[in-house]
Chain A
Amino acid sequence: MGIVSPGFFGRRRQGDPALPPGQYLTESFPVLSAGPTPRIAPEEWEFTITTETGQVHRWSWDEFLALKQDDVTQDIHCVTSWSKLGTSWRGVSLDTLFESVESDCEFTMAHSYGGYTTNVPLDDLLGGKAWIAHEFDGEALEPAHGGPARLLVPHLYFWKSAKWVRGLELLRQDEPGFWESNGYHMYGDPWREERYW
């Protein structure tokens, strides 16, 4: 942890059952910037799910907003050791998006505008555990935080919640994404401190 110093982001509240091991609470919402922020206009935006047969399920911005919307409150945990409790999001459950998708695959790769990728098992996206979120705290999600829409998988470290998400690719075998190919854990469970290889 030489690059981002643990403890920089806030106060420790040891013994808080909502706080995974090695995490610190923050009230702010730190932005970790790995590159230029993509600016995607709604009319250009689309979200796709691509199956192993090459079938592409596609939603435009308007089609996406017409789907059933969920309002969820979730704790989020960044691997750089900040946690933020009780964050409010609005978005579409992956269960809704996968309703019409037929696949035998167990793994997915999330792809983002700007080229970022991260791998998430399909089981971790279904069962009310993950969303494509487009509002934070009642406001449109800012580009710095991944707007127009980001993946939200709050039970895994937050690098799995890909900003500027544009699609999911179904995979027969697990493959490393952007950070997973250079030091970061393939799964990333904050309760097991699965930070690195």
Chain B
Amino acid sequence: MTDYLDGNAAAGPLSEFFAIDVTTARGRCLHCGRTDALATAQLYPNSHGLLLRCPGCTEILLRLVDTGDTVCLDLHGLSFVELHRD
């Protein structure tokens, strides 16, 4: 008996998360700890991908690169993302 589940068991909770408008979720900046709705982050849409930067320290929270065949999402600048159900 292992104390973990197969990763596919996470599909349900993750689909709930990604089905909503993620910019309404609150995220914590890994660099400075500021916690705020992603909608308040600084969006740089016109680069080699989409970038969201922290409004406190300007470090990167999120990167999204659309290569046509794939979409690469880098969330490593967020130490957590928090979603409130209405």
Contacts and interface: CB of A to CB of B under 8 A. Distances in A.
A50 to B, nearest CB: 23
Contacts of B47: 32-34
B34 interface: no
Interface string B29-67: 000000000000000111111110100001010011111
Nearest to B45: A3
B72 A183 contact: yes
Contact of A3 (B58, B66, B70): B66
A35 B51 contact: yes
Interface string A172-184: 0000000101111
B82 interface: no
B67 A179 contact: no
Contacts of A80: 48
Contacts of A184: 48, 65
Interface residues of B, number: 21
Contacts of B58: 35-36
Main secondary structure of the interface of A (DSSP, over half): loop
Contacts of A197: 67, 70
Contacts, number: 55
B59 to A, nearest CB: 8
B68 A34 contact: no
A47 interface: no
Interface residues of A, number: 20
Given A182-B74, A183-B72, A33 B46 contact: yes
Contacts of B74: 181-182
Interface in A156-197: 159, 179, 181-184, 195-197
Contacts of A196: 65, 67-70
A54 to B, nearest CB: 27
Nearest to B48: A179
A1 B48 CA distance: 10
A183 B70 contact: yes
Given A1-B66, A196-B67, A182 B44 contact: no
A4 B47 CA distance: 8
Contacts of A92: none
The 6 closest A-B pairs by CB, nearest first: A183-B65, A196-B67, A34-B47, A183-B72, A2-B66, A182-B74
18 contacts: A1-B66, A1-B67, A2-B66, A2-B68, A3-B45, A3-B50, A3-B66, A32-B46, A32-B47, A32-B48, A33-B44, A34-B44, A35-B44, A36-B58, A182-B74, A183-B67, A184-B65, A195-B67
